[in-house]
């Protein structure tokens, strides 16, 4: 039975459905994700510090599952829209506001990383009592929730903030889509760019040694471990092992991964010195092109500050992926690893257990999977996160929400937000997650729900990228501009409409990107 306090959500869903504001359910990979800490990423909106920034306390958020299909529902739309307008107003009226949010993001990001590296080390977790484990769990939750709130401004206002910049540029006569995209391209180096530079440098060093070069060509990783050049792989692994981890892993890059990445680069038979130069110069060249546009159109200081702030919004999204990867390795593998032993679960699965059930296990010795155990057995689920906790509806009760969400509607064309300019024609490959990447060949069109850092090797092979989700500051948008390939984000249902081997044209020459199926 639906609780009285949740009946407003049924009416809210009907209203959102009428307005076309409910995304269609889709197959989502669980790779790198779990109930927690994902649910905590929005809980800052329930806190006093959230109200201080937005002027509102949010009522609830919701997700749902139907077998392999799932979705996220932005309920309490009125409050969300009100708080978004407050944040946008602050950012537009106070040129220091985004810098202030970046400062707090850095503050809590450093706090979270230091906490995970020091307090959640293997040595300390091994000695921790159950009571101490529970305290560490809650301390992580507290810091992480604050970090996600202050960082999350990029998600809330980036698209509208860019619209304001675009209008200013157009008034100055800068109306070219290409030039506006150049201006909006983040001028701050990403970790993807750093990794690529280091990987090319390592490859060039390997090529200096005929023995190392020969061993790699012979695909002999075991033999490669015996030579000095193996240290190059160890250095890369130390710096970037966290990239594919996401929130809860379990995948990490190791020396063998980088052995094969170097092998791939060698087999490409390209001028690696030129590729290194191009990769190193990407951001200096972008800044130079941006300055030329400033000079040509006499862009005023206020607009330049807004553009600088937009680039901060872009890099905050990239910083988030880096911080989560680096910090969550210890949270998952060490803290949740030890807690998971109580439930006979692997670390990344233990992260799905709800806090109340963990508290019962750690403080009262009552071992039960509780709500997570029910989730494992039910196909139909509607899950609500609100200030007082979590409520999960299953089967018949969940169906009352799902009937509204799943009501059929027609969508005649596939369009989305232009994230990176260009035109491409190729065969579609739909990737549920990066594990599907092996089926993508060079020149294919990569279609996915959203990209994450572990997609990059496949993004480099794609002729274009199309995603269901995302905005102008999302991972796909940032990386495709570095790669110089077209990208359309926020299509809502590309993974549903497009199928493997469909022949399509991807055209991004205005603010709206268009995907056209080609009949053969």
Contact status, residue 125 vs residue 334, Cβ threshold 8 Å: yes
Mean pLDDT, to the nearest integer, of 101-113? 98
How far is the C-alpha of 108 from the C-alpha of 254, rounded, in Å? 28
Residue 186 has pLDDT above 70, yes or no: yes
Q: Confidence class of residue 520 from pLDDT cuts 50, 70 and 90?
A: confident
Percent of the chain with pLDDT over 70: 99
pLDDT value at residue 170: 96
Contact status, residue 76 vs residue 58, Cβ threshold 8 Å: yes
How far is the C-alpha of 33 from the C-alpha of 248, rounded, in Å? 6
Task: Read off the pLDDT of residues 332-376 as tens digits, 9 standing for 90 and up.
Answer: 999 999 999 999 999 999 999 999 999 999 999 999 999 999 999
Task: Read off the pLDDT of residues 190-227 as tens digits, 9 standing for 90 and up.
Answer: 999 999 999 999 999 999 999 999 999 999 999 999 99
Provide DSSP, 255-284.
HHHHHHHHHHHHHHT--HHHHHHHHHHHHH
Beta strands in 405-511 (DSSP E): 414-420, 422-430, 445-448, 464-467, 487-489, 503-508
- With CA atoms as reference, report the closest residue to 486 among 460, 511, 466, 458: 466
Peptide bond connecting 250 to the previous residue in cis, omega within 30 degrees of 0: yes
Mean pLDDT, to the nearest integer, of 377-397? 96
Mean pLDDT, to the nearest integer, of 386-409? 91
Contact status, residue 420 vs residue 460, Cβ threshold 8 Å: no
Q: Confidence class of residue 70 from pLDDT cuts 50, 70 and 90?
A: confident
In this prediction the pTM is 0.90
How far is the C-alpha of 337 from the C-alpha of 224, rounded, in Å? 32
Cα dihedral sign for 457, 279, 442, 219? negative
Q: What is the mean pLDDT of the chain?
A: 94
Task: Read off the pLDDT of residues 5-55 as tens digits, 9 standing for 90 and up.
Answer: 999 999 999 999 888 888 777 777 777 788 999 999 999 999 999 999 999
pLDDT value at residue 144: 98
Q: Confidence class of residue 409 from pLDDT cuts 50, 70 and 90?
A: low
Q: Confidence class of residue 408 from pLDDT cuts 50, 70 and 90?
A: low
Burial of 47 (0-12, 13-18, 19+ CB in 10 A): middle
pLDDT value at residue 108: 98
Burial of 40 (0-12, 13-18, 19+ CB in 10 A): buried
Q: Determine the Cα angle at 355 with ends 391 and 403, to 5°.
A: 20
Q: Backbone phi, then psi, for 465, in 5-degree steps?
A: -135, 135
First vs last Cα of the chain: how many Å apart? 52
């Amino acid at each position: 039975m639906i609780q009285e306090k949740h009946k407003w959500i049924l009416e809210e869903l009907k209203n959102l459905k009428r307005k076309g504001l409910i995304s269609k359910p889709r197959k989502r990979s669980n790779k790198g994700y779990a109930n927690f800490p994902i649910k905590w990423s929005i809980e800052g909106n329930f806190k006093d510090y959230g109200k201080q920034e937005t002027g509102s306390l949010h009522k609830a958020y919701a997700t749902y599952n139907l077998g392999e299909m799932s979705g996220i529902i932005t309920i309490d739309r009125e409050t969300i829209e009100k708080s978004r307008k407050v944040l946008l107003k602050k950012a537009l009226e106070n040129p220091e506001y985004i810098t202030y949010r970046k400062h707090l993001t850095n503050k809590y990001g450093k706090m979270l990383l230091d906490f995970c590296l020091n307090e959640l080390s293997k040595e300390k977790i091994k000695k921790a009592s159950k009571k101490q484990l529970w305290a560490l769990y809650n301390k992580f939750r507290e810091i992480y929730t604050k970090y996600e709130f202050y960082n999350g401004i990029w998600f809330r206002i980036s698209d509208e903030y860019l619209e304001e910049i675009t209008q200013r540029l157009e008034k100055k006569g800068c109306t070219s889509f290409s030039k506006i995209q150049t201006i909006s391209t983040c001028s701050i180096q990403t970790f993807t760019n750093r990794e690529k530079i280091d990987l090319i440098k390592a490859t060039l060093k390997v090529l200096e040694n005929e023995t190392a070069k020969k061993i790699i060509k012979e695909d002999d990783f075991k033999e490669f471990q015996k030579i000095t050049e193996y240290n190059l792989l160890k250095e890369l692994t130390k710096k970037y092992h966290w990239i594919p981890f996401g929130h809860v892993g379990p995948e990490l890059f190791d020396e063998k991964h980088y052995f094969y990445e170097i092998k791939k680069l060698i087999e490409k038979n390209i001028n690696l010195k030129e590729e290194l130069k191009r990769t190193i110069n990407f951001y200096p060249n972008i800044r130079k092109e941006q300055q030329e546009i400033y000079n040509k159109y006499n862009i005023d200081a206020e607009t330049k500050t807004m553009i600088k702030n937009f680039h901060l919004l872009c890099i905050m999204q990239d910083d988030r992926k880096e911080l989560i990867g680096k910090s969550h390795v210890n949270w998952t593998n060490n803290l949740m690893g030890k807690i998971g032993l109580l439930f006979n679960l692997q670390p990344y699965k233990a992260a799905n257990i709800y806090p109340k059930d963990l508290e019962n296990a750690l403080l009262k010795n009552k071992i039960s999977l509780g709500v997570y155990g029910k989730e494992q057995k039910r196909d139909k689920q509607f899950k609500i996160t609100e200030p007082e906790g979590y409520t999960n509806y299953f089967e018949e009760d969940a169906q009352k929400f799902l009937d509204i969400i799943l009501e059929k509607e027609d969508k005649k064309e596939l369009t989305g937000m232009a994230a990176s300019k260009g035109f491409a024609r190729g065969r579609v490959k739909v990737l549920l997650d990066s594990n599907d990447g092996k089926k993508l060949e060079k020149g294919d069109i990569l279609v996915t729900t959203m990209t994450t850092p572990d997609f990059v090797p496949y993004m480099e092979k794609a002729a274009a990228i199309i995603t269901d989700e995302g905005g102008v500051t999302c991972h796909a948008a940032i990386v495709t501009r570095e790669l110089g390939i077209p990208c359309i984000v926020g299509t809502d249902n590309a993974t549903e409409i497009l199928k493997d081997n469909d022949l399509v044209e991807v055209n991004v020459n205005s603010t709206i990107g268009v995907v056209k199926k080609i009949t053969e």
